[in-house]
Structure 1
Amino acid sequence: MKQYLNSYWFRSAYYSFLQRFSIILFGLFNFMILARILSVPEMGIWGLFLTIITLAENTKTALLKNAHIKFVSSNLESEEKSVVASSSLLINLAITLLYVLLIVVFGPLISGLLNMELTFAQLLNWFIPGLMVMAFFAHLEAVQQSHFDFKGVFAGNFTRQFLFFIILLIHYIFKIDFPLYYLSIYFSLSILAGLAVLYLYSKKYLLGRFNPSKKMTGQLLHFGGYIFGSSVLSSIFANLDQLLTARFLTPVSVAFYNTAKRINGFIDIPTYAGAEILFPKMSQAASAKGIEGVRNLYEKMVSVLLALIIPAALVVIIFPKLFIYILAGTRYYAAAPLLQLYMFISIIGTFQHQSATSLDSMGKTRLNFTANLVAFFIKLLLTFLFLKYMGFYGAITAAVITSVISAVIWYVLIRKQTGVHFSSIFKNIFLMYGQAYTQVLQLIRKNKS
């Protein structure tokens, strides 16, 4: 038992799940407070701000983290590890400065295109220090995970989420009013606190040298280029409903979509945590065992994730208004149908996330990018058409249809590349449910006796 608890899979799953869970949980707590402080239009503006910032963070991380992990984990020499880390940080800072330039120059234009007030541009401008801090935060995350250590990543993310929550709670309890841009300042301070904690856990892996090389920079960009493109597309793909709803409708409509997305985030915890855990091990399996190793890991991971997600999603689908009432109150009941459909999308999305991770670990980054590009344009076209002719429910309708089409595309790709059998996945799911049922019966009988 002790050996199992000390295994990579248990430790990484434990901390990755805690990290994802804490991010979503505090996100929900923060949303519950803000939904009772801010007006519905202000909630729409804040929700879209978080969408843009998360998109920027995720895409930059996609370019660097997987490449950083792959090259560090495959090099045993500390000098080579130092070159990888230094080159990764250099690219990270360069992209961050590009983001800052885009905010300064195009902030007001973005606000206009998304039908937001200038308050939105104000939020972005006040968050520029936070963007700079995020660059170092993301770098230390990659350093931790490249050494198969997830503890510090959890501690850093927990700190930033907890501090932001405490600040909002103080405002709520003592009824302290504040302008919307204060949230950007609080968000930046929280990330800075998280960075300090993450550094304490990561300093044992830092070699104290900054020696980037042109060759390694090129290798990181080459490996991460298609992953970056895939991440940009998948991130925009996931948030296209909110972005286009803001463009064609109002911030109020965005607030309803954001409410449904927040609750849906709980269901997606296992999926994203699973992808983070799976990538380092799949990279090793692809090198050591080839296609068979990747296939076995894929089938096992997807089986476990679906066994967890399906029951939880069904509960939310049956009682959507209950969850919305707890989270945001009766003002947001219009989000109930959106929430039910997002649950369906989450179940299907499990296959896509793990398939994308598998392809990247096998070095099939270009194929992954192409699949994401096709799905993106399908969703863009359908979302535009359905929003135009259906209004409020147009974006979610397009999202459901696109998810079904994408599921078919990803099934064909992963089956062709690895020989995955979906029948094996569903067989594993029923076996896990059977085993769980048997263990529950045994526990009941033991307690009775």
Structure 2
Amino acid sequence: MRVLLSTFGSRGDVEPVAALAAALRDLGVEAVLCIPPDPELAALATRAGARLAPACAPIRQWVADALANRPPMTLPERAAGVLTAQFEAISAAAEGCDAVLATGLFPSTAAARCVAEQRGLPYLYGAYCPYFLPSHHHRPPPYPGHPVPPEETDNRLLWDRDVATMNAVFGEAINALRRSIGLAPADNVRDLVFTDRPLLAADPTLAPWEPTDLREVVQTGAWILPDDRPLAPELEAFLEAGEPPVYLGFGSMPMPALKDAARAAIDAVRARGRRVLLSHGWAGLALDDDREDAFALGEVNQQALFSRVAAVVHHGGAGTTAAAARAGAPQVVVPQIADQPYWARRVADMGLGAAHEGPTPTLDSLSVALGTALSPEVRARAAAVAGRIRSDGAIVAARQVLAALRREATSGPG
């Protein structure tokens, strides 16, 4: 059996499907990873023992262009470009596959749904955060030009409205593609893609799914790719040379303003007498001096590193949040976009650290947040919660995939 796992996104989107690929392999199922061909992401396919089928474009440059709106496009226009390009890439990757599972950017998942439907293959959808899935317990996310009315407090009505919003943003391009390949147009593109039984790849302690009649969600736990890579000797030497440092990194966020944020954070960490570990990330962060109390690093095994730091200051990506929580490291989350404010709130609400208000920190605001994260009470709370973070989410999801395929084989196409 061969399953195509498709995503178009940064490392936070790709590493979980690589973990699922490894779990499927352990169950005797071959996985094909249709992911952006950036070298650092292709390496994840190798670690997972999965075959790489390149997505339509490298993601790092695509993200930088999208954030800068280069070339100028509306959101529907940019989404349509991803949809059509990904349909071609996923179609090629799906040759010989028995099922398709998609995560990541909505236009890419819509393309995967169209490929599966055209070929008569079972299709599954995975989300990494409850925030994006319909529930009467929370509001839907906004889209540019389509804000969520602040005066409306009925979440059910807002999620009904969300159908119209997503049709307005994505529907024209999706239905044009569907007609071109012989499929009937959809009057609800959101639910066509999300399905009525999506998988939620988020830890139930960090991001519990509350039952709702709006969706039957299967929460598997986060999909974590085991990492046994050693830390570099130079990093080991730095860690051994003093007290645990504070890790600072904004992952795949390429915003130029993060360089100013990093400088403020470094000053705030030093003001508290702590050493600094600075991750370059996609923003290209760098140290401004050669003081011995700071160390800059690139790609690193977070699973090995985070248990050895005093705190983790980061952007609030789902993967980084889970890695820090699993390691028992206090956190300061400086959210930038998408689901990152959700993870910031969860960290604060659970007593695992501090949520920064807004994406632009200052020396003063970070000093306050670090004061919270570095307190003995938060350190003790983070250590206690670490033991509750599950590590089996990928194998749980792999079993769910196989169960869905068995149901499909028994019932036939729906």
TM-score normalised over the length of structure 1: 0.27
**Higher share in strand:** 2
**Higher share in helix:** 1
Q: Which of 1 and 2 has higher RCO (CA within 8 Å, sep 6+)? A: 1
